Structure 1
Amino acid sequence: MTIQTIQLNKLALSDLNVRKVKPKEIEALAADIQARGVLQNLIGYDEDGKIKICAGGRRYRALKLLQKAKTIPGTFEVPVEIRSKDEALEISLAENAQREDMHPADAIAAYRAIIDSGKDVDDVAASFGVSPRLCPPRVEAGGAAPDHSQSLPERRNRHGRGAGFRADRRSGPPA
């Protein structure tokens, strides 16, 4: 297994990618990639001169959206870990089944730290695609922000793991 940088126009989504339902929020991910770059490599295998992406399909779709908007060219270099086609289905399932959302209290604390470093609340919220309500205001010098982590609901998904939530959606079970 090696990580290579491969031009976007030489990549294609693999039929072995386990996500079959069109993912949501690709626009937000595209905006994040535009602002911060590709933070995590894609995983694919070589088939007939194309690299077929079996893991990282949301990132691939976000990159294609940026290409369509002419924000990046087809020659944009994408980090891709090359694996064998025999591994593709299991890798795709593992990447999707083994993920866990961040606990809301950790996200709020991270937003607070970024804001405390001098960033504007609205800019931070827009940068991460969340409501400004989730980004607590700056704490004045010598003051301490209250810890609200105990008041946040503990949500579980159907696998019994914490499901997390987005601030710009209603609180409650996932749809």
Structure 2
Amino acid sequence: MTRIADVLLGLNFNNNGEKDLATGLMAPIRFYELAQRELDYTERMNANLTMISVGYVLPKSTLIWLENASFSEKDCEFLISEILELIINVAFKIKQSLRSNELISRLGVISFGILIRDGAEEAKSLKFRLNMVLDDHLKEFRKSLLGSAFEEFAIEVSILSSVHESGMKLLDFLAKVNL
């Protein structure tokens, strides 16, 4: 019997300190260092800075279903493979839709953090584009599960943003977008 922990462990959330090994995106520690620099710059220059968190979430019902269901090792490997493919494809598409001065990192198993030097209006436009990317890839992911033991697997798009406020610490900034 395979549990949700086995699936999550199989998703290779590893990095070498510089890059996430699955996606090639910036490693979390590097992202946090650069985010702190950007925050300091924003405070000094009274500039705009917005944090966006994008990715997928598993509803509670899916977590309970995965925890209580019995899947073969082969089924589990299939799900891990499909989720990794989703993560890699989404990371590539998101990276393509960002400007060179915008930061992105894989900060969770199926979530990413993005830091942009813009305010709420620009973030709203970017969030719209990101939502289209995530939705398109989610449709493909769901198609790939048809006919498998995971046909009923539910996963949802999650996009949150927060504009930096004067005096805000990095941890508070990250917490506003659940990172």
Task: Calculate the TM-score normalised by the size of structure 2.
Answer: 0.27
Larger RCO: 1 or 2 (CA < 8 Å, sep 6+) = 2
Q: Which structure shows the bigger proportion of residues in helix conformation?
A: 2
Higher CA-based Rg: 1
Task: Calculate the TM-score normalised by the size of structure 1.
Answer: 0.27
